[in-house]
Structure 1
Amino acid sequence: PMMVQSIFWYVASPAIIQEIGGALHSQALTNFRPDGTIMAIFGLTFGYAAYMSEVYRAGIQSISRGQMEAARSLGMTYIQAMRYVILPQAVRVILPPVGNEFITLLKDTALVSAVAVPDLTRRGREFQASTFIIIETWVMVALIYLTMTLLATRLVSWVEKRSKYER
Structure 2
Amino acid sequence: MDISFIKEALGIALSGVPITLLVTFVALLISVPIGFLFALVRLKRIPILHQLTTIYVSFVRGTPIIIQIFVLYSSIPLIINQLLTANNITFAIYDIHPLWYAFVIFSFNTAATLSEVFRGALQTVDRGQLEAAHAVGLTTKQAYRSIIIPQMLVAALPNLCTATVNLIKATSLGYAISLPEITLRTKVAANLGYHYLEAYLVIFVVYLILCLLVEQLFKWWEQYMRRHEGVSAYANH
TM-score, shorter chain, exceeding 0.5: yes
2: CA distance, partners of 1:65 / 1:126 = 54
Structure with the larger RCO, 1 or 2 (CA within 8 Å, 6+ apart): 2
Supply the AA of the counterpart residue of 2:67.
V
Supply the AA of the counterpart residue of 1:32.
I
| Partner of residue 172, structure 2 | 110
| Partner of residue 208, structure 2 | 146
Supply the AA of the counterpart residue of 1:27.
T
| Partner of residue 161, structure 2 | 99
Matching of residues 64-75 of structure 1 within 5 Å: 64-75=126-137
For the aligned residues, what is the CA RMSD? 1.7
Write out per-residue CA displacement over residues 125-155 of structure 1, whole angstroms, 9 at most, x where no aligned residue: 2122112223222111111111111111111
- Secondary structure of 1:131's counterpart equals coil
Matched, 1:42 2:96: no
Supply the AA of the counterpart residue of 1:56.
F
1:18 offset after TM fit, Å?
Answer: 0.7
Matched, 1:13 2:107: no
Write out per-residue CA displacement over residues 17-66 of structure 1, whole angstroms, 9 at most, x where no aligned residue: 111122222223xx422221211121112221222233223322321111
Match of 1:163 among 225, 228, 233: 225
Supply the AA of the counterpart residue of 1:96.
P
Q: Indicate conservation of the 8 Å contact 1:37/1:117, yes or no.
A: yes
2: CA distance, partners of 1:84 / 1:134 = 52
| Partner of residue 53, structure 1 | 115
Matching of residues 21-36 of structure 1 within 5 Å: 21-28=84-91, 31-33=92-94, 34-36=96-98
1:78 offset after TM fit, Å?
Answer: 1.5
Match of 1:125 among 169, 180, 187: 187
1:68 offset after TM fit, Å?
Answer: 1.0
1:70 offset after TM fit, Å?
Answer: 1.3
1:118 offset after TM fit, Å?
Answer: 1.8
Which 5+ residue runs of structure 2 have no aligned equivalent? 1-63
1: CA distance, partners of 2:105 / 2:149 = 28
1:76 offset after TM fit, Å?
Answer: 1.7
Write out per-residue CA displacement over residues 88-113 of structure 1, whole angstroms, 9 at most, x where no aligned residue: 21111121111111111111110111
Alignment length (residue pairs): 165
Residue identity over aligned pairs, in percent, reads 29
2: CA distance, partners of 1:13 / 1:134 = 32
1:124 offset after TM fit, Å?
Answer: 2.2
Which 5+ residue runs of structure 1 have no aligned equivalent? none
2: CA distance, partners of 1:133 / 1:46 = 34
Supply the AA of the counterpart residue of 2:87.
L
1: CA distance, partners of 2:158 / 2:188 = 36
1:67 offset after TM fit, Å?
Answer: 0.9
